[in-house]
Amino acid sequence: MKIALVTDSTSVLTEQEIKENNVIVAPIPIIIGDKEYLEGVNITSKQLFETQKQGAAFPKTSQPSMGEMISLFNKLHDEGYEAIITVTLSSGISGFFQTLQNVARNNPEYHLYPYDSKMTVRLQGYLVLAAAKMIKAGYTPEEILERLDKIRATIDELFIVDDLKNLSRGGRLSNASAFIGTMLHIKPLLTFEDGKIVAFDKIRSLKRAVSKVEDIALERTSKLPYKDKLRLFVFHSNDEKQTEGIKEFILDNFPGMPVDVAEFSPVIATHLGEKSIAIAWMIDIDKLEF
Regarding whether 270 and 160 lie in a shared domain, the answer is: yes
Regarding whether 76 and 192 lie in a shared domain, the answer is: no
pLDDT of residue 176: 47
Regarding whether 185 and 126 lie in a shared domain, the answer is: no
Asked whether the beta carbons of 98 and 52 are under 8 A apart, the reply is no
CA angle 13, 69, 124 (to 5 degrees): 30
Regarding whether 271 and 168 lie in a shared domain, the answer is: yes
Residue 195 backbone dihedrals phi, psi, to 5 degrees: 85, -5
Range of 113's domain? Answer: 3-28+63-152
Regarding whether 177 and 262 lie in a shared domain, the answer is: yes
Whether residue 52 lies inside any domain: the answer is no
pLDDT of residue 170: 52
| Full pLDDT tens readout for the chain, 290 residues | 999 999 999 999 999 999 999 999 999 999 988 889 888 888 888 888 888 788 788 888 889 989 999 999 999 999 999 999 999 999 988 999 999 999 999 999 999 999 999 999 999 999 999 999 999 999 999 999 999 999 999 999 999 988 666 666 655 555 444 455 455 567 888 898 888 888 888 888 888 999 999 999 999 999 999 999 999 999 998 878 889 999 999 999 999 999 999 989 989 888 888 888 999 999 999 999 98
Regarding whether 176 and 140 lie in a shared domain, the answer is: no
pLDDT of residue 177: 47
pLDDT of residue 173: 52
Regarding whether 169 and 146 lie in a shared domain, the answer is: no
Domain boundary among 117, 152, 187: 152
Domain boundary among 97, 129, 152: 152
Distance CA 190, CA 174 (A): 11
The amino acid at residue 261 is V
CATH number of residue 107's parent domain: 3.40.50.10440
Distance CA 146, CA 136 (A): 16
Regarding whether 165 and 249 lie in a shared domain, the answer is: yes
Whether residue 34 lies inside any domain: the answer is no
